[in-house]
Structure 1
Amino acid sequence: MKLSALTKVAAISGLAALTLTSCAANEQAPAASDGETSSSSLAGELIGAGASSQDAAQNAWIAGFQTANSGVTVNYDPTGSGAGRETFQQGASSFAGSDRAFEAEEITAGPFEACAVDSGIVEFPAYISPIALIFNVEGVESLKLDAPTVAQIFEGKIAKWNDPAIADQNEGVELPDLAITAVHRSDESGTTENFTDYLAAAAPDDWSVGAIESWPSEFGGEGAQGTSGVVAAVTSGVGTIGYADASQAGELSTVEIKVGEEYVAYTPEAAAAIVDASPLEEGRGATDLAITLDRKSTESGVYPIVLVSYLVGCEAYADPANAELVKSYFSYIVSEEGQSAAAEAAGSAPITASLRDKITPAIDAIS
């Protein structure tokens, strides 16, 4: 995963340019709510890069953190998870946002140039976003579906809304003899990867292609660019169904997903609950809190179709100033205040107190 010298210089230069363009925006950070200036002595510049899924949340976190710490400038470049991980590894940023944790092999291969020699990494879930199944069928306000039925709809094997597989789970609902148009992302997408990861885990006999970022053309359906494109296509279509970040579902009808013997609607609480119900990956260091999402969980009240995005930093930094800034910023992000700010700005699911209790010691270990 090494960048060439030229690429590394370009990455650093790009982030430096981001810093210059962001300073004006950072000066717009709101004043402290009590009208007093920040009494924090923390000062410096903190650079991060990575997952675009965190962009709205990062903007909210930056505003809140800089309000409390007026001497700090934080810049986050939403270049995407892969680019963010590489930038962090090469020392061009002090932290990364990523829609997946580093693989164990990637950590072993290293190096992480912002970190002290022989330092481990700190990574933990910081942003949880439920993915909603949205649909547009006149006269139908809500539906209940299990994973095999969802998989067959999106593979094109179930073609009509009154198919028995749908009707049997929705007694009393008048389903039309209407063709289904399944809308998918046309671009490479972490949302698609998480949606299909759920299908691969929960309906392995009915979903044939595993967890994928790019939609297979052989499944047909209608492609749309980005979350906004999927929402627009479902809204303007007839008999449409798609998957999208729940915060963008708006007034569209949504699907309750079968979990165990019950059907669960997406809520922030249900999305956060699936993370709590999932185990940590084995063989990781004490500060590496990578989650193995249990998409097949039968626990009551969990919603299994979620995107979980991580923050990544060093356990020990080569530059102590970076350690202090990252430690403080991460602490704010996982606080109740920080998670509430993200929920309001981005519609994310705040982490639970139980998960916060696991994360806090990892952040405290940063030096």
Structure 2
Amino acid sequence: MFVKRTHRGRSALLLAGVALAASSVGTAFAATSLTETGSSLLYPLFNLWVPAYTKKHEGVQINTAATGSGTGIAQSTQGIVQMGSSDAYLSGAQMKKHPSMLNIPVAISSQMINYNVPNANSDHLKLSGPVLADIYSGKIRYWDNKKIESMNSGAHLPHKRIVPIHRADGSGDTFLFTQFLTKSANNWKAHYGTTVSWPSVQGAIGATGNSGMVTALQNNPYSIAYIGVSYKDQTDKAGLGEAKLKNKSGNYVLPNKQTVPAAAAQMVPKTPKSERISLIYAKGKQSYPIINYEYVLVDSKQPNKETAKELKQFLTWAVSSDGGNSMEFLKPVHFMPLPAKARQLTMSQIDKIHG
């Protein structure tokens, strides 16, 4: 039977077709949204990862922010974000309060000790944990102090007051630095953590984020700071000095392709299943003393299966040697890939994520 279609009927069918097509497009391109916040040390790596990953995985949208490890810890444990990036693993007390949280290492990084001493920034001044502890506690106040001079024969050390710069925000870098002081210096009395009640030192400066540390160091001659290695390109460009640190064997070393893996080789085999471990102050003649796992803190119990699936897929890619752990991504931020044992433990953790 032939049915005559009126102009009004054809319009209605056309509109219905457009609506159906729009609905199909919307369904096809609906993205699962994941949010990461926290460590400013890990932030540059996430900024390399996310565009590369989402280009090949259109079904996920990933938002990132450098807010400091303290915020990453707080917002991930509170369920505000899916990923809290942190240089610090959760403490025993935090794990007791949030037992479903996972501490997932995704790479190995290190921390530099940088300084701004005119005419000495290219010298790689030698420093030790006890000397840094004395500087940050106010016991050593001038660059030409005998303890510093004794380590740096021939260096130009002026009689200028040292300006110690510390993180003002809740920082995993502070956690690493104060761990190093605690483990290497008997004279350091403060407890370590992402936030520290710093000793009162004349002229001391607080800065926010690693980028803030670089700026404060650059703007204040005779200052000293602890800065994550992912900002090495910025410190080099600013012409800032980078110290050689005295390791546990008594040798002075810089963080590089030899010294960071040397320290990792000593510490990674000690990693427990939870992967909550300090890699600071490793034994070994070549070991650089301040290295660490970079953590992504994730609640194993996600609100739904789709979020859990996308989260697992992204983290699996991030730690794979042909994905986010390839040197294509790690070299620009001066990170080291996870060794095989650590990657195996990390994959076991990622497998625990469910919706």
TM-score, normalised relative to structure 1: 0.72
Which of 1 and 2 has greater Rg? 2
Quickly say closer, same or farther: Cα 1:206–1:350, change in 2 above 3 A: same
CA contact (8 A) 1:134 1:244 kept: yes
User: Aligned residue for 1:178?
Assistant: 159
Cα pair distance change 1:148/1:61, threshold 3 Å: same
Equivalent of 2:253, from 264, 274, 284? 264
Residues 152-197 of structure 1, C-alpha deviations (whole Å, 9 max, x = no match): 22323223333332232233x2333422413312613412332122
Superposed CA RMSD: 3.2
Aligned CA distance change for structure 1 residues 217 and 290 (closer, same or farther; 3 Å): closer
Give the Cα separation in 1 of the matches to 2:68 and 2:157.
41
Distance 1:77 1:249, change over 3 A: closer
| Alpha carbons 1:184, 1:221 under 8 Å: kept | no
| Whole-Å separation in 2 of the counterparts to 1:186 and 1:236 | 16
Alignment of 1:106-125 (within 5 A): 106-110=94-98, 120-125=100-105
1:157 aligns with 2:142: no
What one-letter code is carried by the residue in structure 1 that aligns with 2:189?
S
Distance 1:265 1:321 in 2: 44
What amino acid maps onto 1:223 in structure 2?
A: I
* 1:207 aligned partner: 188
Q: 1:45, CA displacement in angstroms?
A: 0.8
1:183-235 residue CA offsets vs partner (Å, 9 max, x unmatched)? 312613412332122111110x2222232524625222431423344434433
1:193 maps to 175
Can you give the 5+ residue segments of structure 1 that lack an aligned partner in the other structure?
1-40, 112-119
Deviation, 1:49, is: 3.2
Question: Which AA in structure 2 matches 1:209?
Answer: A
Identity of aligned residues (%): 23
Distance 1:236 1:89, change over 3 A: closer
Size of the aligned set, in residue pairs, is: 313
- The equivalent residue for 1:100 is 88
Q: Does structure 2 retain, via aligned residues, the 8 Å contact 1:186–1:214?
A: no
Unmatched tracts of structure 2, length 5 or more: 1-27
Q: Distance in 1 between matches of 2:276 and 2:214?
A: 31
User: SS of the residue aligned with 1:142?
Assistant: coil
Deviations along 1:65-116, one digit per CA (max 9) or x if unpaired, are 11221222223354544444444344444333233223334334347xxxxx
Partner Cα separation in structure 2 for residue 181 and residue 215 of structure 1: 19
Task: Map 1:329-340; keep pairs closer than 5 Å.
Answer: 329-336=314-321, 337-339=323-325, 340=327
Q: Find the residue that maps to 2:243 and give its secondary structure.
A: strand
**3-state DSSP class of the match of 1:322?**
helix
TM-score using structure 2 length: 0.74
The one-letter amino acid of 2:286's match is: G
Instruction: Report if aligned partners of 1:124, 1:311 keep a CA contact under 8 Å in 2.
Output: yes
Offset of residue 124 of structure 1? 1.9
Instruction: From 55, 75, 78, give the equivalent of 1:67.
Output: 55
Distance 1:354 1:273 in 2: 15
